[in-house]
């Protein structure tokens, strides 16, 4: 028998980037199940996927505006899913060691949005796409936004690649260059959406390093929507002294972390004291 409560508890322990990875994997598997059910009832699978994929046709987009976000939760190939989630895992770990989860959510989904918009605009502007309207799915724009954000904010940070170390700035430059060069050789719209996510990540990091959070308004919107769809929670009236003490200690620690993260947002990572850097590092390991 499946212990759903245990699975739920484990999921709640995940970071926001890890939760996104789980969601993307589930949304990769679920369409195959739906496809089987639709097949048995003699319905076309395309009828389902058309409700979540992003079309470059304005008439379709105006009818299904939610596809500017839903396209990012689905993948058609396991290789596409694997590389996206692998990059998201490592880039997300670096990101969340520097910033709170709200900033990560802003960066990821604004990258998805901007990548989607650039994809649609490219089919309206460039003559090479005239008469061609392929739809798009995949999380690449959001993943690129997160990756280029950390490459821009901490460009000198080195990570281990196989047998050598490489600075983040070179990884970011290489991936952007690959997308630019590969546009004429297939998946042109997808490559352009990757660049849209990269541009968003770069602009967001540049502004945040100067103390300007361009995702603040977007954050207010999704937080308001979260409140609307979330269930009210009931608090227990009686608590033991031990649990109250633990909660107070946890709140104090979280307040310290939030204060450090705010300092990074306003003045940059290098403005932290040695003790603050140690506190942030230790919190990232928990």
Mean pLDDT for the stretch of residues 93-119: 96
Cα dist from 170 to 159, 160, 166, 192, whole Å: 11, 13, 7, 20
**pLDDT tens across 148-176, in order?**
999 999 999 888 877 888 899 999 999 99
């470059």: which residue's tokens? 56
117: exposed, middle or buried (C-beta count within 10 Å: 0-12, 13-18, 19+)?
Answer: middle
Banded model confidence at residue 199, pLDDT cuts 50, 70, 90 = very high
Are 166 and 281 in a shared domain? no
Domain annotation covers residue 237? no
Among 181, 196, 229, identify where a domain stops: 229
Q: Domain ends where: 182, 202, 229?
A: 229
3-state secondary structure of 66: coil
- Check residue 7 and give its pLDDT: 79
Alpha helix (H) residue ranges in the chain: 4-13, 16-40, 46-49, 58-63, 67-70, 78-96, 101-125, 140-153, 168-182, 188-209, 216-229, 241-267, 274-285
Residue 20 is part of a domain; what is its CATH number? 1.20.1540.10
Q: Are residues 160 and 273 in the same domain?
A: no
pLDDT(245) > 90: no
Residues 33, 94 within the same domain:
yes
Q: What is the pLDDT of residues 52-93, one digit of tens each?
A: 999 999 999 999 999 999 999 999 899 999 999 999 999 999
Q: Which pLDDT score, from 0 to 100, does residue 5 have?
A: 76
Is 8 part of any domain?
no
Domain check: are 208 and 252 in the same one?
A: no
- Domain limits at 278? 242-285
Mark whether 194 and 269 lie in a shared domain: no
CA distances from 139 to 74, 84, 149 (A): 7, 7, 16
Judge whether residue 270 has pLDDT over 70.
no
Q: Tell whether 182 is covered by a domain.
A: yes
Q: Does residue 10 lie in a domain region? A: no
Q: pLDDT: is 195 or 253 the higher one?
A: 195
Distance CA 65, CA 30 (A): 22
Tokens found for residue 2: 């499946």
Q: Work out the pLDDT band at 243, boundaries 50, 70, 90.
A: very low
Give the chain's domain count: 2
**pLDDT of 41:** 84
Average pLDDT, integer, range 109-122? 97
Residues for the chain: how many in total? 286
pLDDT, mean over the chain:
86
Per-range mean pLDDT, top range of 5-9, 46-50, 212-216: 212-216
């Amino acid at each position: 028998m499946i212990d759903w409560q245990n699975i739920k508890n484990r999921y709640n322990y995940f970071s926001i980037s890890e939760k996104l990875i789980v969601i993307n994997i589930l949304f990769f598997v679920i369409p195959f199940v739906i496809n089987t059910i639709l097949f048995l009832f003699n319905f076309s699978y395309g009828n389902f996927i058309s409700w979540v994929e992003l079309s470059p046709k304005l008439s379709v987009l105006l009818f299904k505006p939610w596809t500017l976000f839903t396209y990012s939760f689905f993948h058609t190939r396991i290789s596409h899913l694997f590389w996206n989630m692998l990059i998201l895992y490592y880039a997300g770990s670096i990101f969340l060691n520097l910033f709170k989860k709200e900033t990560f959510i802003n960066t990821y989904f604004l990258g998805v949005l901007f990548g989607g918009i650039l994809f649609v605009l490219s089919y309206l502007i460039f003559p090479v796409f005239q008469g061609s309207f392929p739809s798009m799915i995949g999380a690449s724009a959001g993943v690129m936004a997160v990756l280029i954000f950390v490459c821009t904010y901490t460009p000198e940070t080195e990570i281990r690649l196989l047998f050598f170390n490489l600075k983040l700035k070179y990884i970011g430059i290489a991936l952007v260059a690959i997308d630019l060069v590969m546009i004429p050789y297939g998946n042109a719209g997808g490559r352009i959406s990757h660049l849209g996510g990269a541009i968003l990540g770069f602009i967001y990091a540049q502004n945040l390093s100067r103390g300007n959070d361009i995702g603040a308004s977007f954050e207010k919107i999704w937080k308001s929507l979260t409140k609307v769809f979330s269930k009210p929670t009931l608090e227990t009236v009686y608590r033991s002294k031990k649990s109250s003490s633990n909660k107070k200690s946890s709140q104090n620690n979280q307040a310290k972390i939030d204060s450090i993260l705010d300092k990074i947002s306003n003045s940059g990572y290098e403005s932290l004291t040695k003790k603050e850097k140690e506190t942030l590092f230790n919190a990232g390991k928990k």
